[in-house]
């Protein structure tokens, strides 16, 4: 039983190919950055893990796009408790804009919301480390192939064009950069299986 510390990368996931993997509890990676250049006239845009040109929208969609980050914890359960995060972000424009981080369980192509962290306010254009307020999430149970999916959404009430948010992350999905995108989950307990051996008294063994 332990909390998990996950570090964002720009390495494409093998299953959810528009998303990127996350390193678990390990730092030492090399920093890189990816820029998301929003298009259109609306006030929200996603910050893509691999960078690119997301189309702006009028509101954050309930169902994720798959352009965020994903980690596969294996079968187990996250306890009810606080999740927290930080992210290193820069932008061309956008002082006073906000960024929201959300968490989902990803299972067989279906996203189930875990919760979100209160939006942070961007205080300037240079690269800056921002901390999201720790927030309690409900308990989550994961199967062997389920993932924990994370996305980031930028909001500029005057329109996102020209803001060009930049996210700093690792070039490795196995070794993160401690000062960049980082998430701490609630306590995770891996599932354990028990195997019972029964003797029948005549030399036979059943399991």
pLDDT tens-place string over residues 97-153: 999 999 999 999 999 999 999 999 999 999 999 999 999 999 999 999 999 999 999
- Mean pLDDT, 10 residues at a time, over the chain (207 residues)? 96 98 98 98 98 98 98 98 98 97 98 98 97 98 98 98 98 97 98 56 47
Give the domain extent around 172. 2-206
* φ, ψ for residue 131, nearest 5 deg: -105, 130
* φ, ψ for residue 103, nearest 5 deg: -125, 140
| pLDDT number for residue 192 | 84
Pairing of strands 44-46, 76-78: unpaired
Beta bridge partners of residue 145, listed in sequence order? none
| pLDDT number for residue 193 | 58
b or e along 168-202 (b: 16 or more beta carbons within 10 Å of the residue's beta carbon)? bbbebbebbbeebbbbebbebeeeeeeeeeeeeee
b or e along 122-151 (b: 16 or more beta carbons within 10 Å of the residue's beta carbon)? beebeeeeeebeebebeebebeeebbbbbb
| pLDDT number for residue 194 | 46
Greatest pairwise CA separation for the chain in angstroms: 81
Q: What is the CATH number of the domain that holds 53?
A: 2.60.120
* Count: domains in the chain: 1
The helix (H) or strand (E) run that includes residue 90 is strand 81-90
175 within 8 A of 6, measured Cβ to Cβ: no
Q: Which of 191, 84, 193 is nearest to 140 (CA)?
A: 191
Question: How many CB atoms lie under 10 A from the CB of residue 109?
Answer: 8
| pLDDT number for residue 19 | 98
Q: What is the pTM of this model?
A: 0.92
Question: How many CB atoms lie under 10 A from the CB of residue 36?
Answer: 24
The helix (H) or strand (E) run that includes residue 188 is strand 182-190
| pLDDT number for residue 147 | 98
């Amino acid at each position: 039983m332990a909390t998990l510390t996950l570090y964002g990368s720009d390495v494409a996931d093998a299953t959810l190919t528009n998303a990127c993997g996350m390193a678990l509890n390990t730092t030492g990676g090399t920093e890189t950055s990816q820029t998301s250049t929003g298009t259109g006239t609306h006030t929200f845009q996603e910050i893509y893990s691999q960078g690119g040109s997301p189309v702006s929208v009028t509101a954050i969609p309930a169902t994720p796009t798959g352009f965020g980050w994903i980690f596969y914890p294996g079968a187990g359960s996250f306890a009810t408790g606080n999740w927290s995060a930080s992210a290193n972000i820069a932008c061309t424009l956008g002082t006073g804009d906000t960024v929201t981080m959300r968490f989902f369980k990803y299972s067989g192509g279906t996203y189930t919301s875990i919760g979100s962290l209160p939006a942070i306010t961007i205080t300037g254009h240079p690269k800056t480390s921002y901390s999201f307020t720790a927030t309690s999430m409900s308990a989550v149970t994961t199967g062997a192939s389920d993932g924990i999916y994370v996305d980031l959404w930028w909001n500029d009430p005057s329109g996102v064009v020209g803001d060009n948010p930049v996210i700093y992350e690792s070039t490795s999905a196995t070794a993160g950069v401690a000062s960049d995108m980082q998430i701490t989950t609630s306590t995770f307990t891996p599932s354990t299986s028990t195997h019972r051996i029964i003797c029948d008294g005549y030399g036979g063994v059943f399991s």
